[in-house]
A and B are shown apart, each in its own frame.
Chain A
Amino acid sequence: MSLLDVVLEVAVVVGVLHLASVLVFVGPDRLRPSTAARAVRSTVRAAGTPLVALAAVLAANGVVRRIGVELSWVVGVNVTGAIYAIEGTFVAAVQSYATPAATAYFGFVYVFGYVYLLTFPAIAYALREHPGELRTLLIAYGFNYGIGLVCYVLFVAYGPRNLMPELVDSLLFESWPRSQLLTSQVNENTNVFPSLHTSLAATVAILTWRGDSLSRWRPVAAALAASIVVSTMYLGIHWATDVVAGVALAAVSVVAAERIEARRDRSVGGGADSLDDGDGRDCPDDRDPRDGRMPE
């Protein structure tokens, strides 16, 4: 029962955040039922393939995660000791700054902020009818999950809260035990290298920073992504090494997704699918290097 409660709680909170963000960053005019439905339908149709691909990766993730842990103990390498040898008690040092307020903030960011950060750009792109950016985003998510899953099979690693419980508290689960019902549904405690929280949050931050639209949302994305990255360590769930690997994974995923999208644009005949009405003009200098690079 309480798992359902947690899921419901997350859905409600994230829903409210979405509504507010759409009003602020997308514009109320986009929210008219007829306009919104048309925009979403056409954008989603244009982004159909990556959407299906991502769904397939997530479905595979769900299946492989079950046998993956077993497989991981058979073929994988236990790198917990190696990670500990690299960074030692860094996470404990991060946690030494813990305050109840910070714990509440980072706990909120880790669960609610994360879901919000990952889903909002997809909604915004759909409402704004930016199928190209939506496609890039979805492809990048797919790479994150796909590569992450392979890493999880190849590397067995427990997080700092499991390796050094006397130094690192499971702040999230201790302050909000029910959240573990959710996180243990989503992932295993041996799957910490790399941090998918970090990589997906960083992916969103990088893409919005390099993208044309949502420029006013950029600072929000950047701040939220940074908070999530810190929260993974602050809450004792991930090592700094996981975070570094997560950022690298994000970079790889973004580059790969953009390459794929650029190739598609070329074969289709130019990226003319942006129906944007203005936000892109806010930051022309961001656009130039990208445009200059795309036809390479």
Chain B
Amino acid sequence: MGHRPSSGPPRRRALATIASGAAVAASGCVGRIRTMSGWESRSQVTLTIKAAPADEDPYALRVGRRIAEWLRTAGIDAQVSPVSEQELFRQVLLNREFDLFVAQTPARFEQPDSLYSLLHSRFVETPGWQNPFGYSDLDANDHLETQRRTTGREREDALERLQYVIARTQPFTVVAFPDDIRAARADRFDGWRSADLRSPTGYLSLERTTGRGGEGSPRTTATESDSEVDDSSASTLRLAVTDRRGTSNLNPLAVEFRRSGVLTGLLYDSLGYVADDGTTEPWLAASWSFDGDEPPVARVELRSGATWHDGEPLTADDVAFTYDLLADTSIGPVDGDGSDGGAGGDEDSDGDGGSDADADDGEGIPDDEEVPSPRFQGRISLVDEVRAVDDRRIEIRFVECPPDIAVRALTVPVLPEHVWSDRTTPASLAGIEIGSVTDALVTNNIPPVGSGPLRFVRNSPRESLTLERFDDHFLVDADRATLPEGVDGPPAFDRLSVRVVGSGVSAVGVVTDGDADVTGTAVGADTVPRIGRSDGTDLIVDGRTPPYVVGYNALSAPLSNPQFRHTLARLIDRTALLDDVFDGYARPAVTPLANTEWVPDELRWDGADPVTPFLGRDGEVDAEHAMEAFKTAGYSYDEGRLVRTD
């Protein structure tokens, strides 16, 4: 409107002055905004702790709540969010949607190399239990690589340093190694005390209490009602579990559905198994040998007559295929002769026919993108190339490492090529491909076709699962000398039935009522008196367990700061947790290798943590000390709240 000729020069000048004044004012203001924008507002540090609810996990949420309490004392806005274990694993392991989580790791860390995939920064982008923390520390990487390459004193040194780095930088805090508590009935099966019920061999080592299917044995009311069902039920091993995932998914690659992997371990054989002393011994393999090559090469011979549950013969090609698949689940079907099926050689990945995704080749997952299995990555990373020599012989080339570490790779489940080769295509939902994921990772794999000592019979999702003895398994007529200690032959039961119940206390109730033989998942220490009170039910306590850890998301500030994590770890009173949450049924620890010979004396738990001692006493955080520690770490407080710039 100021452009009308009638407005005249004075007015124009005035307008110009105003305009320029406004411009000056505005520029001053903008400048100020710009200057100030470097100084962002500060807000309280907010952390959410995710953990499985009490029904599914007797301890995790209680640990989380205590920790939240301690963090709040230190001025952190800490919340606890209960999520089902399946969802927890999905959020933490696949989507990395978390600040802190409390859970039991799947690995017991009896082999120190299991830390490699857990902490090496090359796995930061890999889903699953491969560095779920997003932790990257160059020193830790060096030590992890060194321990993998070396032996003797050198390896010992590397592992010692590694444990110091972990203890200082705290990618996760080891809370404690809990006792595995179970209720078991001795009236039908025995051998509970020595059996490791977190491993398939534990179930295979059980024995029948009385004569096979004998009628004259002392029976409880429960077995009477059982015999009404059918005769064979007398030799059904009945498990009451709180973990329902195994009833709807039996895919050994699906990380969010697996806890200890016992069920899939009974359905699928691996070339070797981990013995109690931590060494790897032949299982599906009749034997293997290393001939001193550098890097090592294993020549593996399969047991003769191995068969899949569907009657197909199990050959060396299946083994070679398995290693290719686990390294990259998007491979095309490897050629029949298996001679070019190297883990790295996936140039032939563009469908050699047979798969129904040929039409959209190259669309879902780029050729050069690998979709590794989120389970077994650490072990697979030891393997360079696998080749089937003939039907029963396989040659496995490893990366540079000593043979006793290399054999870890032989404990992955062997999968049938004729079933899994169709699962290398991009997964789709109602025809729409979703992200970089293959069918192999998302299939529920029911019915599973394995080669293990047990075979799938039926399942009722979320309620029950029935497996039966596989009579073509090598255990039936294997030489005892070649079997694990305690395993004398085929399973002592004809069937294994798994029944899902609501919580640990219900599981114990089902066992004490005689409706199940054992709690198939560990129960909480609070059920111990109940188990003890019941006649005919034994309390089984086993210390061979993986630890509970508090995991930190090191990719999100302020948890990305090792000093911050170090200080957080000092707010966790493991002694109080041991007394209040675990009722003494656990052993606090400083490092994940606490149960091995590799832990240096200075890093042993002796009532306090030598690296991150608790900032308080008797389960109470000393607020002043905690604030001091965070201030030293570079953070500040605003009216008792720990604040940082956004």
Contacts and interface: CB of A to CB of B under 8 A. Distances in A.
Interface of A: 1-2, 66, 73, 78, 80-81, 85, 158, 161-166, 170, 173-174, 177-178, 180-181, 183-184, 189-190
| Chain B residues touching A, majority SS | mixed
B239 interface: no
7 contacts: A2-B510, A66-B461, A163-B80, A173-B505, A177-B506, A180-B506, A184-B506
Interface stretch (B81-89, B194-202, B435-443): B81-89
A107 to B, nearest CB: 14
Contact of B81 (A81, A166, A183, A190): A81
Given A81-B81, A163-B53, A73 B87 contact: yes
Interface stretch (B54-62, B110-118, B540-548): B54-62
A249 to B, nearest CB: 23
B509 A81 contact: no
Given A1-B515, A170-B505, A163 B84 contact: no
Given A162-B53, A177-B510, A178-B509, A78 B503 contact: no
B505 A181 contact: no
Contacts of A73: 83-84, 87
B53 A177 contact: no
Given A73-B87, A158-B82, 20 more contacts: A1-B222, A1-B515, A2-B510, A66-B462, A73-B84, A78-B81, A161-B54, A162-B53, A162-B82, A173-B506, A174-B505, A177-B505, A178-B510, A180-B502, A180-B505, A180-B506, A184-B501, A184-B502, A184-B506, A189-B502
B461 A173 contact: no
Given A1-B225, A73-B84, A80-B82, A183 B580 contact: no
A166 B505 contact: no
B266 to A, nearest CB: 24
B54 A162 contact: yes
Contact of A180 (B79, B503, B581): B503
Contacts of B81: 78, 80-81
Contacts of A1: 222, 225-226, 515
B513 interface: yes
Contacts of A170: 54, 503, 505
A7 B183 CA distance: 25
B604 interface: no
Nearest to A78: B81
Given A2-B513, A158-B53, A166-B580, A181 B62 contact: no
Nearest to B226: A1
A166 B54 CA distance: 10
B501 A163 contact: no
B285 interface: no
A164 B66 CA distance: 10
A81 B79 contact: yes
A165 B55 CA distance: 9
B65 interface: yes
Max chain B Cβ within 10 angstroms of own Cβ: one of A163, A177, A189, A190 = A177
Contacts of A174: 505
B102 interface: no
A164 B84 CA distance: 15
A91 B87 CA distance: 26
A1 B79 CA distance: 41
Given A1-B515, A66-B461, A163 B61 contact: yes
Contacts of B571: none
Given A78-B81, A158-B53, A189-B53, A165 B506 contact: no
| Chain A residues touching B, majority SS | helix
A163 B190 CA distance: 36
Interface in B496-520: 501-503, 505-506, 508-510, 513, 515
A183 B502 CA distance: 9
A181 B501 contact: yes
Interface string B40-67: 0000000010000111001001100100
Contacts of A161: 54
A165 B502 contact: no
A189 B87 CA distance: 14
B55 A189 contact: yes
A181 B65 CA distance: 28
Contacts of A165: 54, 58, 61-62
Interface string B58-100: 1001100100000000000001111110010000000000000
Given A2-B515, A164-B65, A173 B503 contact: yes
A190 B581 CA distance: 23
Contacts of B506: 173, 177-178, 180-181, 184
Contacts of B222: 1
Max chain A Cβ within 10 angstroms of own Cβ: one of B61, B222, B509 = B509
B214 to A, nearest CB: 22
A27 B94 CA distance: 63
A2 B506 CA distance: 11
B449 to A, nearest CB: 25
B62 A78 contact: no
Nearest to A236: B54
Contacts of B79: 81, 85
Contacts of B501: 180-181, 184
A192 B495 CA distance: 36
A165 B57 CA distance: 11
4 pairs of A and B residues whose beta carbons are closest in the complex: A177-B509, A162-B53, A165-B54, A184-B502
A171 to B, nearest CB: 11
A178 B61 contact: no
A170 B61 CA distance: 15
A190 B509 CA distance: 22
Contacts of B61: 162-163, 165
Max chain B Cβ within 10 angstroms of own Cβ: one of A1, A165, A166 = A165
Contact of B508 (A81, A177, A189): A177
B580 A181 contact: no
A139 to B, nearest CB: 31
B394 to A, nearest CB: 39
Contacts of A81: 48, 79-81
Contacts of B225: 1
Contacts of A163: 53-54, 61, 65, 80, 82
A162 B515 contact: no
Nearest to B462: A66
A78 to B, nearest CB: 6
A178 B61 CA distance: 24
Given A2-B513, A66-B462, A80-B82, A166 B65 contact: yes
A173 B509 CA distance: 9
Contacts of B62: 165-166
Interface in B557-609: 580-581
Contacts of A85: 79
A85 B502 CA distance: 26
A135 to B, nearest CB: 35
Contacts of A164: 65
Contacts of B226: 1
B562 to A, nearest CB: 28
Interface string B477-496: 00000000000000000000
A49 to B, nearest CB: 33
